[in-house]
Amino acid sequence: MQNKSIYLFVFLISLLFACNQKDVLPKPEAQLALKYEKPTYTLLDIADCPYQFKINTATRLKTPKTPKPCWTNIYYPKQKATIFITYNALNDTNLKDYLRDAQKLPLQHTSQAEQIEASIYKNEKNKTYGNFYEVEGDAASQAQFYVTDSIHHFFSGSIYFDAVPNYDSILPAAAYLKKDMRHIMESLTWK
């Protein structure tokens, strides 16, 4: 009987010291660590279109579903996303309409967006002026822009992913594409 009580005493003492371990901490949530190659750019000069700009060489051009002159889609296979490019010639009366539509487009995402940030773009040398909109949250489009010379040309673009928007999941790809969109704006010249 005494052997059993010694074993029980040793067992209880070891149990007491075994419970003196550090607190268990929850495992942190995993972060998606997508890394994309540094982009290289080439000049896109579409015949019969009054503009040219540089695009990422990792992209493919696609014809829009409803093709219009000088409209194109720039597809990113790795990111499964498209930048939709539109071009419209200006006349004496339609600049206000295009500006209103371009400025209204980001607001269509306000129900899903956490934040929409606009930044003014101006390049006197290329005669390109416009706005760049960054959308944060589960919105359908993560970025949009327009550029105009205010006399002859109105050029715009917007990103859309081939998936239901989940901001946390597409964040690395969206950041990469936003940089490319800014590069399009900055390299755009009128012919």
Question: What pLDDT, on the 0 to 100 scale, is given for residue 114?
Answer: 64
Q: Is residue 157 part of a domain?
A: yes
Residue 29 lies in a domain: no
Secondary structure element (H or E) that encloses residue 119, with its range? strand 113-123
Q: Is residue 26 part of a domain?
A: no
The whole-number pLDDT of residue 170 equals 78
Residue 31 lies in a domain: no
Q: What is the CATH number of the domain that holds 178?
A: 3.40.1000.10
50: helix, strand or coil:
coil
The domain containing residue 93 runs over which residues?
41-190
Q: Domain count of the chain?
A: 1
For residues 115 and 100, what is the distance between their CA atoms, to the nearest angstrom? 20
Contact 118, 127 (CB under 8 A): no
Radius of gyration of the chain (CA): 27
In a domain, 2, yes or no: no
pTM of the predicted model as reported, rounded to 2 decimal places: 0.77
- Spell out the per-residue pLDDT of the chain, length 191, in tens: 566 677 666 666 665 666 555 566 666 665 555 678 899 999 999 999 999 999 999 999 998 988 899 999 999 999 999 999 999 999 989 999 999 998 886 655 555 556 778 899 999 999 999 999 988 777 667 889 999 999 999 999 999 998 776 776 778 888 899 999 999 999 999 99
